[in-house]
Structure formats: structure tokens, C-alpha cells
């Protein structure tokens, strides 16, 4: 069976508001597409797997970010290299912030990031919290839940993941959420985001398949077609919920 190796990055400290669910959803979808998913859980001090086809990272409290940033620096070069190579990655909230240049916390501590994204994040007292809805050129309407004090700004012109139609997103001024660089996506959508936005899950799987096996088309999956009808209803209902 064709294997796809998925890395769950800093699972112990960085998997808030259901973000760990993204690992489960990707694994299930991979199985339905006929792959054998192999999940590697990576935490500070662990050895990095020899081969990785996809990397998933989630959100966490400022304290969680403080726990992992040293180790992240050590892995920075490897992660930048994998991102440049086109390995698909999804980084949510706290990990999105640390894939940028830095996160300046409310208490004035500057937590360095690894600059995969040319963005920086600074905390404000205006916490962005509630349902977040956005329109993405690649994935249509994306829905999730945001909760962050950090406000993220682009340092150079970048492609956001989506235009916000309800909620905050990167910050309270720009009207956009997230960023896409190579096949690496940053976003403030928790939820787990992949449950209500299966196109995003399939993007990650397509790119992983392309990297590993040189094929882009996913095989048809009647089971997933039915599941995705339910996901579309979930997306619809959540997008109408007030913050
Ligand atoms: N600690 C960060 C903030 O509040 C990230 C929060 C999160 O990952 N949900 O901005």
C-alpha cells in the first residue's frame, strides 16, 4: 500500500480547539483514498523523521509557544527547506505566528519564529474571538473558530488564504486571514478547520501525493463524496452563526 508520512508538529503544546482533529481527518481521508497514513508525533527533543510528506501544526497558549520555540529554532532550517521544496503544511494560529518572524506577547516577550512566512505578530488587548468566515480563491468559503490576542501583519506583499467576510483573521485592519507560501498555509481557523473545509484537506493530500508519487489527481472516493456533503452543511450552518 502506498504510504504517506504525516508529521504532527508539537502535538503536546500546540493543538488547541480541536486542531489535533486535523491529523485524524487527514489520516482518515488518506485511507479512503487508498493510502496508508503513517503519523509521526513530534515534540521538543524528539528525533525528526527521515521522511515527511505533510506537516500539521496547531494553536496553543503563549506558554505553549514559549515551551517549543527553542526546539523550533533548531528545526527551522529543515522546515524552511521542506516548505521551499513544496511539502504541504498547515499551520494554525500559534504555529502560524511562529512560522512568521516573531510573536510579541502581551507581557512584552518576543518569541522568535522561523520566518517561513514574511509576517510578524504583536499581541493587543483586543482579543479576536468567535467564528471566522472567509472567501478563498482556491478553496471557496472557509469557516472556523478564532481566538487570539496576536495580530499578524505581512512584511512584504503576500497571498492571504482568504478575504474575511465575518470575524477578524490576521488582524483587525486588513480584512484577510492567513497566508499561502509554496504549499505552506498559515491561518487563524481552528475547529478543526479540515472538518468543515474538505477542499483544504484535499489540497494537502494532493500536494503530498504529488511530492511523493508524482501524481496530482486523487482517486474517486464515493465514501468521501457523502462525507463532504455533510461537511458542506456544517460549513453552511457555521458560516451563519454569530460570533
Ligand atoms: N497565543 C497566541 C495568541 O493568543 C495563539 C493563540 C492560539 O493559538 N489560539 O495570539
pLDDT digits (tens, 9 = 90+) for 151-169: 999 999 999 999 999 999 9
Cβ atoms of residues 90 and 202 within 8 Å? no
92 CA: nearest ligand 1 atom = 8
Q: How many domains does the chain have?
A: 1
Q: Which CATH number goes with the domain that contains 81?
A: 3.40.50.880
Q: Average pLDDT of the chain?
A: 97
Active centre residues (catalytic): 93, 190
Centre of ligand 1 to C-alpha 52, Å, is 26
**DSSP result, 50-109:** S--SEEEE----HHHHHHHHHHHHHHHHHHHHHHHHT--EEEETHHHHHTSSEEE-TTS-
Which residues line the pocket of ligand 1, CB cutoff 6 A? Answer: 16, 59-62, 65, 93-94, 147-150
Give the model confidence (pLDDT) of 50-65 as tens digits: 999 999 999 999 999 9
60 CA: nearest ligand 1 atom = 8
- Cell numbers placing 102: 516573531
| Residue 13 domain boundaries | 2-239
Angle of helix 222-239 versus helix 20-32 axis, rounded to 10: 150
Cβ atoms of residues 67 and 44 within 8 Å? yes
**pLDDT given at position 16:** 86
Q: Is the pTM of this model over 0.85?
A: yes
Question: Which position has the grid cell 496576536?
Answer: 150
Of 86, 117, 92, 80, the closest CA to residue 207 belongs to 86
Centre of ligand 1 to C-alpha 230, Å, is 29
Centre of ligand 1 to C-alpha 2, Å, is 36
If phi > 0 it is left, if psi is from -120 to 50 it is alpha, else beta; for residue 229 that is: alpha
Amino acid at each position: 500500500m502506498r504510504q504517506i508520512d504525516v508529521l504532527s508538529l508539537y502535538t503536546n503544546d500546540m493543538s488547541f480547539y480541536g486542531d489535533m482533529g486535523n491529523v485524524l481527518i487527514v489520516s482518515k481521508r488518506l485511507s479512503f483514498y487508498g493510502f496508508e497514513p503513517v503519523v509521526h508525533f513530534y515534540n521538543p527533543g524528539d528525533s525528526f523523521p527521515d521522511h515527511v510528506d505533510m506537516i500539521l501544526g496547531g494553536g496553543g497558549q503563549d506558554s505553549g509557544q514559549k515551551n517549543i520555540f527553542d526546539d523550533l529554532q533548531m528545526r527551522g532550517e529543515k522546515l524552511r527547506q521542506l516548505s521551499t521544496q513544496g511539502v504541504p503544511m498547515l499551520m494554525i494560529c500559534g504555529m502560524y505566528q511562529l512560522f512568521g518572524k516573531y510573536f510579541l506577547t502581551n507581557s512584552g516577550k518576543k518569541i522568535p519564529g522561523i520566518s517561513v512566512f514574511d509576517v510578524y505578530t504583536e499581541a493587543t488587548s483586543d482579543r479576536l474571538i468567535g467564528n471566522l468566515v472567509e472567501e478563498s480563491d482556491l478553496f471557496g468559503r472557509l469557516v472556523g473558530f478564532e481566538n487570539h490576542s496576536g495580530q499578524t501583519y505581512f512584511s512584504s506583499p503576500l497571498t492571504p488564504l482568504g478575504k474575511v467576510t465575518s470575524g477578524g483573521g490576521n488582524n483587525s485592519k486588513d480584512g484577510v486571514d492567513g497566508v499561502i507560501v509554496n504549499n505552506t498555509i498559515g491561518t487563524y481557523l481552528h475547529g478543526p478547520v479540515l472538518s468543515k473545509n474538505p477542499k483544504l484537506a484535499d489540497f494537502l493530500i494532493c500536494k503530498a501525493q504529488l511530492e511523493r508519487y508524482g501524481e496530482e489527481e486523487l482517486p474517486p472516493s464515493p465514501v468521501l463524496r457523502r462525507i463532504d456533503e455533510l461537511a458542506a452543511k456544517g460549513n453552511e450552518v457555521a458560516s451563519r452563526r454569530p460570533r
